[in-house]
Amino acid sequence: MAVSTLDVAALAASRRRRGRRTRIVVGILAGSVLTLLLLSVMLGDTIYSPLDVVGVAVGADVDGAFTIGTLRMPRAVMAMLAGFAFGIAGVTTQRLLRNPLASPDIIGITAGASAAAVFGILVLRWSGASVALLALVVGLLTAGIILAVSVGSAASARIILVGIGIGAMLDAVVGWLLLRASSFDVPTAMRWLSGSLNGMRWDDVIWLVVALALFAPLLLVLSTRLPQLELGDAAAIGLGVRASRVRLLLLLGAVALSAVATSATGPIAFVAFLAGPIAARMTGPGSRSILPAGLTGATLVLLCDLLGQHAFDLRFPVGIITGIIGAPYLLLLLMRQSRTGGSL
């Protein structure tokens, strides 16, 4: 009995330490996001002071109000929100499938949203909410097809390989759409496909805000069930979790967020893939919250956009910078799994 009491006390102390560490990491990441958000609005051909930015944010009439409020703020806010959406969507699918490769941009869900958005832009001449809705529907449909084709096996490797195959087919569809499009429309589509924040307006931001308001709370609340789901369906059900229902809701929320974010900014490469593992390194094993991954995603997009705009002689879309960072990590992960004999 004494041993059991000591074990319970040790477990409770461990949980308190993990919770305290997670709260510290969340605080640091939130501060980083706010700092990078402020820098994104301040820096440019004309540098504005923090007081100017705050003044515009509260509605004051200050010098540079148009540049700050109409040109820079929507871009910075979109970078923050899209990064947050990609981050929590990526870590949710990775933990659901128990594989670091199982992020929406790796398993083809983002490719479905991309193909739909390019079709809407080039063929249907849609924009704004129509493109976002089309990308959402096709993203959900793509996820459904991946799961349907993978039926009969709960192994994440099968789902990942099926997703990669479907993603390759959808990338071919995007290539075909670009080939048949007018030469005047191709540059617009290519800028979107590279993952670009150029030309963002408040109207574009609103739809992502709506998606986050609908689906982010769902993922944040249900993420507390992920540790049980990671033990397997039988164990989760034994612990009182409605495994099928919770998994479906988590997958729906993750796909919806990644699809809407992709329709707004284009496929910003590897953010969904990187955010979860980076956050896990900071919070340590056993963390239940997916909030650190969302803040890590926001930090990545804001930082990479700043680098793409100001660190080089030429200006690069944010997706180019995240791709440069993410591709080596993917190769290292595959090499490490190959050396250890692990599967996908």
**Residue at token pair 């200050």:** 62
Residues in the chain: 344
Which residues of the chain register pLDDT less than 50? 1-3
The tokens describing 37, both together, are 């958000």
Structure pTM? 0.92
Q: Which tokens sit at 10?
A: 């040790």
Residue 67 DSSP label: I
Q: Residue 336, exposed/middle/buried by CB under 10 A (0-12, 13-18, 19+)?
A: exposed
Strands (E), the chain: none
Domain boundaries, the chain: 27-340
**Using CB atoms within 10 A of its CB, is residue 67 exposed (0-12), middle (13-18) or buried (19+)?**
middle
**What gap in Å lies between CA 163 and CA 166, rounded to an integer?**
5
311: helix, coil or strand?
coil
> Are residues 113 and 285 in contact, defined by beta-carbon separation less than 8 angstroms?
no
**pLDDT at residue 337, rounded to an integer:** 66
Cite the DSSP H helix spans in 97-128. 109-122
Residues 6+ apart with CB under 8 A from 101: 94, 107, 160, 273, 333, 344
* Domain boundaries 27-340, corresponding CATH code: 1.10.3470.10
How many of the other CB atoms lie within 10 Å of CB of 188?
A: 14
